[in-house]
Structure 1
Amino acid sequence: MGYVIRPVRADEWEQLKELRLAALADPVARVAFNETFQEAVGRPDELWRQRAARSDEGDTVVTFIGEAADGTWGGMVVVLVETDEGAPQTHVVGVYVRPGHRGTGLAQELLRAAVEWSWGLAEPVVARVRLRVHEENARAEAFYRRLGFTATGRTMADPKDPAAGEREMALRRG
């Protein structure tokens, strides 16, 4: 199954909202996202419009989607620029692939787009791409390792459950 990997456009906020809500309703959302379905479903449409518009501008945050030949969105990834932690970096969040699109290579294509966007920034020049993975999400951690991400040793509490932890992984610019 082939996909067109591209940024979300400003006028696609409703599709973005639907995909994000589908992600948060997925059984693995507990260990994959810091936001809950209950939090997101109540957010005003203006927030979704803003998220889509920011992605369309593409200078500090972009949401990439994988669009199948029939026009459906199979998955997404969000990548945002961070400059407040020393050397400029990007942070990958919101990685999601719909169940019917898993195992197709879409997740790898989405992550590749996020990393290429990060390395392609003229300003700021990004030193690394980072992400966080829940300690119970071994499948995601193994996937990120296959793509070259390594554990940084940095951990933090899960914002939804302080008894659980998340590990930071990063890919350094070569």
Structure 2
Amino acid sequence: MNQYVIRPVRAEEWDKVKELRIAALRDPAAPVAFLETLEQGEGKSDEVWQERAAGAAAGRGVRQFIAEGPDGVWAGTVSILVEEAGTTDIFDGEIEQAQAHLVGVFVRPGQRGTGLTEKLFAAALEWAWGLEEPVLARVRLFVHEENARAGAFYRRFGFVPSGKVVPMPTDPSAKELEYVFPRPA
């Protein structure tokens, strides 16, 4: 596992961003882990993937981190979105304080349980805490009520349930649970 390099994506790596996302959407846990289907992911044009990679490689709004093996294969990813105070989130809730939102967590099955997810999360949080003006008050994420494995990992990493529960945008009968990681003092 120590052979993996954790780093942000580069704009020109859009084809690898696409390949890893499609792999994530093929995972059996995808229906409770992502708000996108395999068909939706596969239906996006190359231009959409190019824009997605470029947006995740620079600026303050979003950053995508990947775990790259010595063979160049990407074994995992996490993206972190900045939510500015006064904006609206994907659940139509108002953002009261500048914060970040972790999304798109995926590690290939063969690398799960190796510490790779922890390293991806650590890189994402380090990036978030390094942002200035305004500094971010917390990092949050949402987990499907039936995704117990993910919820257990988030708690072990240090995220705590906030008590906020929202309907899943793709299935309002299902619930998403908010977990938060406050800014270290």
**TM-score interval, normalised by the smaller of the two chains:** over 0.9
Alignment: residue pair count: 174
Whole-Å Cα distance in 2 between the matches of residues 57 and 77 of structure 1? 15
Distance 1:106 1:148 in 2: 16
The verdict on how the C-alpha distance between 1:66 and 1:58 changes in structure 2, with shifts beyond 3 A counting, is farther
Mapped to 2, the partners of 1:44 and 1:123 lie a distance apart of 35
Aligned residue in 2 for 1:109: 119
Query: Are 2:155 and 1:145 equivalent residues in the alignment?
Result: yes
Give a deviation string over 1:112-170, Cα, whole Å, max 9, x none.
11111110101320000000000001111110001110011111111221111110000
Separation in 2 of the partners of 1:124 and 1:8?
Answer: 24
Whole-Å separation in 1 of the counterparts to 2:169 and 2:38: 15
Unmatched segments (≥5 aa) in structure 1 = none
Which residue number corresponds to residue 134 of structure 1?
A: 144
Task: Give the letter aligned to residue 68 of structure 1.
Answer: G
Alignment map for 1:148-167 (pairs within 5 Å) = 148-167=158-177
- The match for 2:183 is 173
Q: Normalising by structure 1, report the TM-score.
A: 0.97
Write the distance in 2 (CA, Å) between the matches of 1:17 and 1:123. 32
Distance 1:123 1:40 in 2: 34
Say if 2:74 is the partner of 1:64. Answer: no
TM-score using structure 2 length: 0.92
Query: Quick one: distance in 1 between partners of 2:64 and 2:146?
Result: 25
| Percent of paired sites with the same residue | 57
1:159 aligned partner, one-letter code: P
Give the root-mean-square deviation of aligned CA atoms. 0.9
User: Where do 4+ consecutive residues of structure 1 move more than 4 Å?
Assistant: none
Structure-2 separation of matches of 1:58 and 1:8: 12
Counterpart residue number, 1:11:
12
Provide structure 2 residue ranges, at least 5 long, that are not aligned to the other structure: 88-94
